[in-house]
Structure 1
Amino acid sequence: MKKQRLLPYRQSVPSILLFQIISSLALQIWMSCFSVISRLLIRSTGHVAVTSGEFSFLFTTWQGILLIILAIVNLFLFVAVDLNALVILCNRLLTGEKPSVLYCIKEGFLSLKRFLNPPGILVVLYVSLLSPIIGFELVISLTRGLYVPKFISSVIWSNPLFSIGAVILIAALFLVGVLFIFILHGTLIDGMTLRKSGSNSINLIRKNKKKFFLEILRFFLVFLAVFAAAFVITAFIIFLSLFLQIPESVLIPITVFSLSLISCVMLMFILMTMPLLTLKLTSLYLDFKSEGEWRYEERENRKSPIVIVTAIVLVLLICLTTVSVSCFYNELFPGKVTTGFVAHRAGGFEAPENTAAGLDVAYKMGASGGEIDIQRTSDGSYIVLHDNTFSRVAGVDKKPSEMTLEEVKQLRVDGEPVPTLEDMLDASHGRLTLYVELKGETADKQMADEAVKIIKDRNMTDETVIISLKYDLIDYVESTYPEMNTGFLAFASFGDTAELNCDYLALEEETATVDTINSIHNNGKKVLVWTVNDDEDIEEFIQSGADELITDNLSGAKEIIEELDNQTPMERIVYGVLDIFDSL
């Protein structure tokens, strides 16, 4: 029985693997072309990138509108290949039809005409934008890593009411995904309209819910068992090497080889999870609609060179990694951390936010800098505050622009006075780099000019960086005062980001890829990553090559840096190799 249960997967692997290789290459070629076209369109508008601080031109120029249309077309193309063509392939594999990969991809494209209607658009938006965010497995590769930026999610999860609302929304969207799990199958296999296929999917799930959940649970348990076994085997090899006290010259290659092997195995399983899950769902669909009468018919076994070729490529990759890492060990895994950390809102979680006391704590904890937010009062002074009003931090529901400096000085943040920009400059002088964010509704050119004057009056141009979410302000400061250090805060960016007119690029975690960081450095600029608070994320980005991390978790950052500085050669290899493969 177990052999019969695994037979469809064993016989389908070669065709699915070939499909994954061909479809991935085709989509990658298209995305390379799309990237070139997009950059040309963006540059023709006089810009170098579309960012969170500069995107309005998308709606006011024909190039921007064309770019939006191309982006929407991309979603449909990826659905056609990643999902539609895959469902068609799985159906042919299970029903004994010839599993031609190119035929299935062609049919996937032809099926798009069925999605050019309101229900179809909703399906495309769900699988491309909502599925990856809520953790649903049926997603397209284009948006697989999509998630809510942590500076937004942290606000949601820190508020009980928002948290409850978010949980309810995620649960509802997940339930929708389960109920409509067979909507593509009904449309692509049986030619139903999306509306009828949706109703059919709900009925099939309701009638077979127990078997459905048990089969899906069994499917994922098998994958978890494979991952666990791979980890145990790798750990055993490494610990055995340590126990036998093998010389470091031999231990390094053994460790790298073991980690490379397990990483390749994991990559292959990740690559195959989505197709095999689709195969499982397709078999369940055929079973449910026939009320248990459908049976998989064993096909004639045919030799498939794709599995052998893939295995050879993986072996070569593992050997190349082993040799490269062993030869360039010190260059790849330096012994000392070069990335520093910057205290978010002056003192992070360790002190009252945006206060001089916070900067003092940050300095004592080894931070290289402190980030603050300035806003203008009604009488033209600059005080430090993150929110629009003082309600949260000082219990007064007024904006800085509605108060005089004298009134602001009467307020307290956890017992500390609300400081001015001048106070914070004095507190950081000679100790920390001060990242001054132009914040709120009063963030304009007047604020930029006056902040620059205040900084220059104290001869602190080399000790400060003016930053903002508003790219036009940063562009203005950089162009008008080239002697000042400037930084643009971007939580989304597409295009030639490294060519933006500033000295620092502060990237939100999702945007801060290794390629982006390297590109920015190659353009002679520095990289900040914000706001990195989880220990795991801090460790990742400290080793990413970024210049600084902006964090609230100062004690965590300090501890992690100390641990990394004191890593043994073995630990440097283990974490280094895992990070390399984690980024693939």
Structure 2
Amino acid sequence: MKTIKKWLLPYKQALPALLLYQIIATVASAAWLALFKWIAGLLIRGTGKVAISSGDFLFLFKTWQGYVIILLAILTLFLLVAIDINPLVILCGRILKGEKPNVLLCFKEGFVSLKKFFTPGGFVVVLYLSLLAPILGFGVSISLTQNLYIPKFITSVIYSTPLYLIPVIIVVALLLFLGVIYMFILHGTLLDGMKLKDSARNSVRLVKKNWKDFLKSIVVFLLLYAVVLGLLLGLLALVLWIRSLIPMAENVNLIVSLVLMLVILFPMLYIVALFMPNYVLKLTMLYNRYQSEDGWEYQKRESRKSPLVIANVVLVILAIVGLTVVVATMGEELFPNEIKTGYIAHRAGGNEAPENTVAGVDAAYKLGASGAEIDIQRTSDGYYVVNHDADFARTCGVAKKPSEMTLAEVKELKVDGEPVATFEEMLDASHGRVILYVELKGETADQQMADDAVRIIKERGMEKETVLISLQYDLIDYISNTYPEMETGYLTFVSFGDTAALNCDYLALEEETSTHSMISSIHDKGKKVFVWTVNDDEDLYKFLSSDADEIITDNVSGAKATKALLEERTLFDRMVDDVTDLFFG
């Protein structure tokens, strides 16, 4: 027990200062980010655009406003390091010396120390902290980019292709290795006043000399953190299970269960929020121990009950009481039992049939899909066939592009026994059954394709049964302006600015960018949202119960089963899902 208390003592005594740091850093970061968005928004509108997105960003390199935005973005990364990381390292150093730290002074010193990073090496350090560390999921990073990720549609290709996977593994391993050996570069610079290059050498020396203890200490810290969170989750599940066994009135059961759930969820929220500060505290302990030639011990200081900690406890109690009262009086309105989100079969029928074939549309319809998404490309003689990849190598074993083949040649190909379909055949198969989401695909996706697609659709009177979609914003903008009677959808996996104001009827968002606020902002502009590509059971559960209008999925049968499961949830089930999503979403 003494050992555990001794191990926990630095974290316990650091709690008030780390809480205050977290509040100030969060507010300051949010304030600067709001200012940056406002300035960037003015600059974007100055170019005649409303947003920067994955399919429309080249204008950044063609206008003076674009270069200013890029410089502002780089400056933002430096400022966030000065606000979010430097003060934390300095604060942890003060705490471990046994001082009563002045948190505001640590922020001032962190900001002043930023000048040390205005070097080529400092630029690399800032990029690693803000971009690479979050993607790698290892090391210290700024809070703004902690959820940075590589989109699933990219990772799925990497995982399934050894040609890509092996180089990626090598690069990731190299970046992780560099992250480990330079782990103490900030400590030497900020705590001992070293130049950045000297601190880098010192970090390599310390890690090399103590690598076994370093790795063991970090692994133990991460495991203990995971165990604590796991125990709280297990306790939550146990409490709710026991609660369900005790007979009582429905309203009473709801209130008691909500209180128990929140009593456990709030500590979990604090533990998650304080992970990075505690992680930096642990790294600083290791740095002090390795750097000290005479041995280092934590300098315990006299502590009293912190008003900030007490205030947080009071706020948590008030939040639990307030949420309980609100749910007890407005439960059904807050957590309605209505699933409005539909599901669209990816590449015609998802995994239920050969991709992009008439059989896929049939499967989508039979499984209750509201729509089927297909990809069209132009042949050498001007017809339109359905294929996703640049050529037919993967689906038909023929390494030729549609643009290199005539329609007659394409019609000789088979996709798992099914003929390659024409655009017209897919329209006929979907008519009166599902909405057809037609992606203008590949190197032949141009204004001619747009004009031809609209003509073919109008010949069948299917304007209300089709949506034209593309990754190219200029193409969607052209269709929306030229053919306002047609519905359009823009596929984007990252965007910045007034995304909801983009000129289209649907905005197709990648999973990680499909937040409550983003979906709400798009709906406020009278537009619809679909999320792509949602395949995992957990993600199906999350997005089918979200405010999105549609999801695109390969797992069509799974989507049907998940939707049925969601519709059977009790009020308490819906409440647990929404509260959990709010805290950890």
Same fold (TM over 0.5): yes
> Is 1:543 aligned to residue 537 of structure 2?
no
For residues 319-344 of structure 1, the C-alpha deviation after alignment (integer angstroms, 9 at most, x for no partner) is: 22222223222223222321111011
1:99 maps to which of 98, 101, 106: 101
Determine helix, strand or coil for the equivalent of 2:513: coil
Residues 356, 423 of structure 1: 8 Å contact kept = yes
2:494 alignment counterpart: 492
Distance in 2 of aligned mates of 1:43 and 1:451: 31
For residues 1-36 of structure 1, the C-alpha deviation after alignment (integer angstroms, 9 at most, x for no partner) is: 433322221111111111111111111111111121
Distance in 2 of aligned mates of 1:243 and 1:350: 40
Determine helix, strand or coil for the equivalent of 2:274: helix
Moved >6 Å (runs of 4+) = none
1:224 maps to which of 223, 226, 245: 226
Distance in 1 of aligned mates of 2:127 and 2:151: 19
CA shift, 1:119, in A, is: 1.3
2:237 maps to which of 235, 238, 243: 235
| CA distance 1:13–1:57, shift in 2 (3 Å) | same
Distance in 1 of aligned mates of 2:316 and 2:349: 47
Equivalent residue letter for 2:217: E
Residues 238, 254 of structure 1: 8 Å contact kept = no
Distance in 1 of aligned mates of 2:240 and 2:77: 43
1:73 alignment counterpart: 75
1:169 alignment counterpart: 171
Distance in 1 of aligned mates of 2:351 and 2:201: 50
2:536 alignment counterpart: 534
Distance in 2 of aligned mates of 1:386 and 1:233: 47
1:370 alignment counterpart: 372
For residues 53-82 of structure 1, the C-alpha deviation after alignment (integer angstroms, 9 at most, x for no partner) is: 111221111211111111111111111122
1:318 alignment counterpart: 320
1:112 alignment counterpart: 114
Residues 94, 101 of structure 2: 8 Å contact kept = yes
> Is 1:62 aligned to residue 72 of structure 2?
no
1:293 maps to which of 292, 295, 301: 295
1:206 alignment counterpart: 208
Equivalent residue letter for 1:345: R
For residues 246-269 of structure 1, the C-alpha deviation after alignment (integer angstroms, 9 at most, x for no partner) is: 211111112222222222211111
2:7 maps to which of 5, 8, 13: 5
For residues 471-506 of structure 1, the C-alpha deviation after alignment (integer angstroms, 9 at most, x for no partner) is: 111111111111111100011111111111111101
2:568 alignment counterpart: 566
2:464 maps to which of 457, 462, 465: 462
- Name the Cα RMSD after superposition: 1.4
Equivalent residue letter for 2:273: L
Distance in 1 of aligned mates of 2:4 and 2:262: 31
> Is 1:19 aligned to residue 42 of structure 2?
no
2:339 maps to which of 323, 337, 340: 337
For residues 371-401 of structure 1, the C-alpha deviation after alignment (integer angstroms, 9 at most, x for no partner) is: 0011111111111111111111111111111
2:278 alignment counterpart: 276
For residues 511-549 of structure 1, the C-alpha deviation after alignment (integer angstroms, 9 at most, x for no partner) is: 211101011111111101011111111111111210100
User: For structure 1, which segment, 540-549 or 257-266, has the greater mean C-alpha deviation from structure 2 after superposition?
Assistant: 257-266
User: For structure 1, which segment, 434-443 or 226-235, has the greater mean C-alpha deviation from structure 2 after superposition?
Assistant: 226-235
Distance in 1 of aligned mates of 2:496 and 2:261: 33
Residue identity (%): 56
Determine helix, strand or coil for the equivalent of 2:512: coil
Residues 139, 179 of structure 2: 8 Å contact kept = no
Equivalent residue letter for 1:380: G
Distance in 2 of aligned mates of 1:53 and 1:209: 44
For residues 223-270 of structure 1, the C-alpha deviation after alignment (integer angstroms, 9 at most, x for no partner) is: 223213322332233222211112111111122222222222111111
Determine helix, strand or coil for the equivalent of 1:138: coil
For residues 413-456 of structure 1, the C-alpha deviation after alignment (integer angstroms, 9 at most, x for no partner) is: 11111111100000000100000011111111111011001001
Structure 1: stretches of 5+ with no match in the other structure: none
User: For structure 1, which segment, 336-345 or 3-12, has the greater mean C-alpha deviation from structure 2 after superposition?
Assistant: 3-12
Distance in 1 of aligned mates of 2:501 and 2:543: 22
Equivalent residue letter for 1:327: T
For residues 72-114 of structure 1, the C-alpha deviation after alignment (integer angstroms, 9 at most, x for no partner) is: 1111111112211110111011113441111111111111111
Structure 2: stretches of 5+ with no match in the other structure: none
1:438 alignment counterpart: 440
Equivalent residue letter for 2:160: S
- TM-score (structure 2 length as normaliser): 0.97
Distance in 2 of aligned mates of 1:23 and 1:244: 44
Equivalent residue letter for 2:231: A
Equivalent residue letter for 2:20: L
Residues 499, 523 of structure 1: 8 Å contact kept = yes
Distance in 2 of aligned mates of 1:86 and 1:227: 23
Distance in 2 of aligned mates of 1:22 and 1:364: 55
> Is 1:129 aligned to residue 131 of structure 2?
yes
> Is 1:518 aligned to residue 503 of structure 2?
no
Determine helix, strand or coil for the equivalent of 2:173: helix
CA shift, 1:116, in A, is: 1.2
Determine helix, strand or coil for the equivalent of 1:401: helix
Residues 28, 83 of structure 2: 8 Å contact kept = no
Distance in 1 of aligned mates of 2:233 and 2:393: 50
Distance in 2 of aligned mates of 1:153 and 1:56: 24
Residues 332, 571 of structure 2: 8 Å contact kept = no
2:251 alignment counterpart: 249
Distance in 1 of aligned mates of 2:110 and 2:506: 44
Determine helix, strand or coil for the equivalent of 1:434: strand
User: For structure 1, which segment, 229-238 or 355-364, has the greater mean C-alpha deviation from structure 2 after superposition?
Assistant: 229-238
Determine helix, strand or coil for the equivalent of 2:551: strand
CA shift, 1:222, in A, is: 2.7
Count of equivalent residues: 583
- TM-score (structure 1 length as normaliser): 0.97
Residues 342, 549 of structure 2: 8 Å contact kept = yes
CA shift, 1:571, in A, is: 2.2
1:577 maps to which of 558, 567, 579: 579
Distance in 1 of aligned mates of 2:463 and 2:257: 48
2:149 alignment counterpart: 147
Equivalent residue letter for 2:340: T
CA shift, 1:292, in A, is: 5.8
